[in-house]
Structure 1
Amino acid sequence: MIKYEIPGNRTIEISNVVIDFNGTIAEDGILIEGVQELLSTLSENVKIFIATADTYGTVKQQCQKLQVEPATFPSSKAAISKKLLLEELDCKSCACIGNGYNDGEMMSIAALSIAVIGNEGLSTACIRKADIIAPNIHSALNILLKSERIKATLRH
């Protein structure tokens, strides 16, 4: 578990992190360089779920060396499936990271949500529902790993 005490705002305790795959931690079905190391460090404190419609069919192979649990579902049910996963995990103990339109629903119920600007772009649905917007996945994962960054961004 990771605990973030945010002055003038709230305390957030995160046990689970749900992360979109394509466009967020992967480009064209391949993990972005440097992500494996950051996920490995993060997995020491929280359980990580990779939520994806697995467009390229590569999530299991790409994540096989990581301490993560892939959660796959049909692309036509991506938004609702991601939201249901957070509800199953108790959304009050979840952080999420994504970039797509289908990530907006999970962002609206997570205790902490981070939208990532990647080479695929960033959906306005994420922008409207995210707590934090990060310039790339490396920054997003480091925000979770370095609690002072969240405190600086979200304090009142």
Structure 2
Amino acid sequence: MLPLAIPNEEVVAIEHVILDFNGTLAVDGKLISGVVPRLEALSSLVTVHVITADTNASARSELASLPCTLKIIGRDKQDQAKLEYARSLGLGRVLAVGNGRNDGLLLKNAALGICLIQQEGAAVASMLAADIVCVDIKDALDLLLQPHRIVATMRN
């Protein structure tokens, strides 16, 4: 469990981190350098989930050795599929990270949502739905591994 003491709010007990794959953990279907050790460290604190439409059909092989649960979703209603997956875990215990339009509902409804703007860009609607925006997955994962950084970002 990862307790997040967000200023002016109750402590949020994050048990699950849901990550998108392409545009978030990977570019062109390949994991971004530096992601693996951070996911390994994070997995000792929370359950890591990767939910993806798997545009490049590489998520399974890229994530095979990592301690995470992979969920590949279909082509239709992807935003709803991601939200329903998070609901099954308990939205109040989920921190979500993504960049695409199909991540917007998840980012908005999770206890905390982080939108990434990396090489593949980010959907504006998802940026507006998120609580935090980062420009590098390593920075986003480091926020979780060093939660005092979230406090600095979220204080009012």
Q: TM-score, normalised by structure 1?
A: 0.97
Shift of 1:10: 3.0
Q: For 1:147 and 1:153, locate their aligned partners in 2 and report how far apart those are by CA, in whole Å.
A: 10
Q: For 1:147 and 1:40, locate their aligned partners in 2 and report how far apart those are by CA, in whole Å.
A: 17
Instruction: Report the AA paired with residue 30 of structure 1.
Output: K
Q: For 2:136 and 2:126, locate their aligned partners in 1 and report how far apart those are by CA, in whole Å.
A: 14
Instruction: Report the AA paired with residue 31 of structure 1.
Output: L
Gaps of 5+ in 1: none
Percent identity, aligned pairs only, is 36
Residue of structure 2 equivalent to 1:66: 66
Residue of structure 2 equivalent to 1:14: 14
> Between Structure 1 and Structure 2, how many residues are aligned?
156
Q: For 2:75 and 2:140, locate their aligned partners in 1 and report how far apart those are by CA, in whole Å.
A: 24
Residue-by-residue CA offset, 1:90-143 (whole Å, 9 max, x unaligned): 010000000001000101110011001110101101111100001110111111
The 3-state SS of whatever aligns with 2:57 is coil
Q: TM-score, normalised by structure 2?
A: 0.97
Instruction: Report the AA paired with residue 24 of structure 1.
Output: T
Q: For 1:99 and 1:129, locate their aligned partners in 2 and report how far apart those are by CA, in whole Å.
A: 11
Shift of 1:9: 2.9
**1:123 and 2:91 matched:** no
Runs of 4+ off more than 4 Å: none
**For the aligned residues, what is the CA RMSD?**
0.9
Residue of structure 2 equivalent to 1:50: 50
Residue of structure 2 equivalent to 1:139: 139
Q: For 1:120 and 1:45, locate their aligned partners in 2 and report how far apart those are by CA, in whole Å.
A: 28
Q: For 1:83 and 1:20, locate their aligned partners in 2 and report how far apart those are by CA, in whole Å.
A: 12
Q: For 1:58 and 1:9, locate their aligned partners in 2 and report how far apart those are by CA, in whole Å.
A: 39
Residue-by-residue CA offset, 1:75-100 (whole Å, 9 max, x unaligned): 22311110001100001000000000
